Amino acid sequence: MTGFEILKRLYKDYTEEYLKKIFLAVFFSLLVAGSTSAIAWLLDPAIEKIFINKDQSLLLLIPLFIIIAFATKGISLYMAKILMINVAEEVKKKIQMNMLSSFINSDTENIENKHTGKYISNLNFDVNQITGMLSTSFLALFKDGFTLIGLLFVMFFQNWRLALIAIIMIPFASFMAKKLGKRMSKVATEAQEKSGDLNKYLIDIFKNHKIIKIFQREKYENERSEKFVNELKEKSVKIASVFIRSTPIMEILTGIMIAILIFYSGKLIMNEQLSLNNFFSFLAAMMLAYQPVKSLAQINVGVGQGLSAGKRILPIIDTANYIETNDNKENLKIESATINYKNINFNYSSNNENKVLNNINIKINGGKMTALVGQSGSGKSTLLSLIPRIYDPKSGILEIDGQNIKEVNLFSLRKEISIVDQNVTLFDDTIFNNIKYAKPNAKDDEVYKAAELSMSLDFINKLENKYKTLIGENGVRLSGGEKQRLSIARAFLKDSQIILLDEATSSLDSETEQKIQIALDKLTFNKTTVVIAHRLSTILNSDKIYVLDKGIVIDFGNHEELLNNSETYKNFYNKQINKS
């Protein structure tokens, strides 16, 4: 994407609707330019009429005009900045909403391919670069561009020879701005990467805080944190250094220009070719022009930062999803909720060489419980994730009641599916809202009933605020069993026809497991249930059990059949019997 294409896209998608405000800011920028030029020009009659001719009639009038000029400049500058800040913040909000929408609607595989910290950096660091380009750089282009034109007009009006000498610095400033802009784009990209690295590290620190304590790695993590912070600091210093690199060059150029002008002006005044009042008016215009020239020299730097950020942000917003929502296709029609895997092959996009699932053919009978067993990494969880289309197979067809799930409305498909995972995901909200998340239009009594069916009442009623208890980030204030029961409560509330259980009773004590098993028995009664079991005791009564190994179904049957015919299953079972 070229710089022009990025600017065109940002204009079309984000700034075009604010053109009225931008034009109003341009109008106030013209007033700033006019009033600044008037200040310089007023020095001519002020010196000539008041100080040289000692004209009493203008003693009050010219100072009044100067006050009006300064007041106009101040108010206009304020209005122009306020308008552009509002535009920039509106654009920032719109970009961030588009990015968040892209994150929310994105395929899970897309999200998993990049660390959360990098996305946070894109959302904050990069969007602020674009906001800065709009609120600072583009405003400076209007304001300082018009002001420089106005002041050049005053300079040429007073003495064209001096003006020609003065404008020699402008090509130098332009050349320098172009060089700095390229450098800034590179440094800004490096800084964004370091900001993303720091965010990644921060998230890891919060997630693994207990581990740090247990393994006494505080000193090590403090050293690591200093490394991440220091790297970002170095890049931030580099950005600031590049940004102000124009200052010494501009100061030297200005000093040379003033020295030459004083020398040349002195000769003109001595030869009576230039009056003193013309010189001071010209000098004031030139000195006032210094700030716009300096600002314009830095615009390319700010634009470079914004374009660099746009190059990273727009591809995120434009991320195309592999899994289509099929909004215009027919809804899934559930009869028995029988699930058929037909010649299913799957591998993750990040690893095209290794197949996770290889030619899978499985039938899951409607209204029955079907179990998947196998070593870690055998493809069990991936098989489960294909049903709600968290992932799509690379080839093959997955049907529910004879309907290809890729050809039905995605919302209608997921409406019929609930999942209870070993890694329960909860929000930093109340218990009530976490349960209700499964069905936003549910009545309060429905939420209470779901909590009761999931065996959650015994711990909810012990809490001081009951259902209004805030549970912390991902339910940090609850035990594993309590979080699991809330997950089951959500599934009860949704009341879908297909239940997916991914090792829902793993890593629990026997008493908690018993409570959860009672809740799961109620949840899965007469429902099509696919269960990944950590403990084989929980699936002994399954209608069918499939044994997987390295993405291939190696055996299937009920418990008794597999004990007699499958060495792999028998080994699993015997190991667990011996453990118990």
Q: Residue 404: which CATH number?
A: 3.40.50.300
Q: Which pLDDT score, from 0 to 100, does residue 11 have?
A: 76
Residues 351, 292, single domain; the answer is: no
61-105 and 276-317 helices cross at what angle (nearest 10)?
Answer: 10
Average pLDDT of the residues of the chain:
79
Q: Inform me whether the pLDDT recorded for 60 exceeds 70.
A: yes
Proportion of the chain above pLDDT 70, given as a percent = 84
The DSSP line for 180-198 is HHHHHHHHHHHHHHHHHHH
User: pLDDT band for position 374 (50/70/90)?
Assistant: confident
SS3 sequence, 294-341? HHHHHHHHHHHHHHHHHHHHHHHHCCCCCCCCCCCCCCCCCCCCCEEE
Q: For residues 283 and 441, which has the higher predicted lDDT (pLDDT)?
A: 441
Q: Which pLDDT score, from 0 to 100, does residue 510 have?
A: 64
pLDDT tens figures, 249-260: 767 777 777 788
Q: Inform me whether the pLDDT recorded for 507 exceeds 60.
A: no
pLDDT tens figures, 20-39: 888 898 889 888 888 888 87
Q: Which pLDDT score, from 0 to 100, does residue 181 have?
A: 62
Could you tell me whether strands 395-400 and 403-404 are parallel, antiparallel, or unpaired per DSSP bridges?
Answer: antiparallel
Of the candidates 291, 317, 343, which is a domain's last residue? 317
What average pLDDT score do residues 108-117 get?
Answer: 70
Residues 37, 70, single domain; the answer is: yes
Residues 159, 198, single domain; the answer is: yes
Residues 143, 57, single domain; the answer is: yes
- Within a domain: 513: no
User: pLDDT band for position 211 (50/70/90)?
Assistant: low
45-54, 74-83, 422-431, 491-500: range with lowest mean pLDDT: 45-54
Check: CB of residue 483 under 8 Å from CB of residue 426: yes
Q: Inform me whether the pLDDT recorded for 219 exceeds 70.
A: yes
C-alpha 568/C-alpha 375 separation (Å) is 10
Residues 213, 84, single domain; the answer is: yes
Residues 218, 336, single domain; the answer is: no
Residue 80 has phi, psi (to 5 degrees) of -65, -45
- Within a domain: 277: yes
User: pLDDT band for position 169 (50/70/90)?
Assistant: low
Q: Which pLDDT score, from 0 to 100, does residue 404 have?
A: 92
What average pLDDT score do residues 272-292 get?
Answer: 73
Q: Inform me whether the pLDDT recorded for 578 exceeds 60.
A: no
- Within a domain: 223: yes
Domain of 251?
Answer: 3-317
Check: CB of residue 143 under 8 Å from CB of residue 77: yes
User: pLDDT band for position 87 (50/70/90)?
Assistant: confident
User: pLDDT band for position 356 (50/70/90)?
Assistant: confident
Residue 210 gets which letter from DSSP? H
CA 449 to chain centre: 38
Residues 217, 185, single domain; the answer is: yes
- Within a domain: 125: yes
Please tell me which of 75-79, 146-150, 166-170, 537-541 the model is most confident about, judged by mean pLDDT: 75-79
Q: Inform me whether the pLDDT recorded for 579 exceeds 60.
A: no
User: pLDDT band for position 114 (50/70/90)?
Assistant: low
Residues 410, 437, single domain; the answer is: no
Counting the structural domains of the chain, the total is 3
- Within a domain: 517: no
pLDDT tens figures, 462-473: 888 888 888 887
Q: Which pLDDT score, from 0 to 100, does residue 127 have?
A: 81
Q: Residue 260: which CATH number?
A: 1.20.1560.10
C-alpha 118/C-alpha 123 separation (Å) is 9
- Within a domain: 514: no
Residues 107, 166, single domain; the answer is: yes
Q: Inform me whether the pLDDT recorded for 209 exceeds 80.
A: no
Proportion of the chain above pLDDT 90, given as a percent = 1
Residues 376, 393, single domain; the answer is: yes
Residues 467, 365, single domain; the answer is: no
pLDDT tens figures, 220-245: 777 777 887 888 787 778 777 766 66
CA distances from residue 183 to 124, 177, 227, 468 in whole angstroms, order as listed: 22, 10, 24, 54
User: Which residue reads 């949840």 in tokens?
Assistant: 523
Q: Inform me whether the pLDDT recorded for 281 exceeds 60.
A: yes
Q: Which pLDDT score, from 0 to 100, does residue 48 have?
A: 66
Q: Inform me whether the pLDDT recorded for 125 exceeds 80.
A: no
Q: For residues 305 and 565, which has the higher predicted lDDT (pLDDT)?
A: 565
Of the candidates 282, 299, 317, which is a domain's last residue? 317
Q: For residues 553 and 110, which has the higher predicted lDDT (pLDDT)?
A: 553
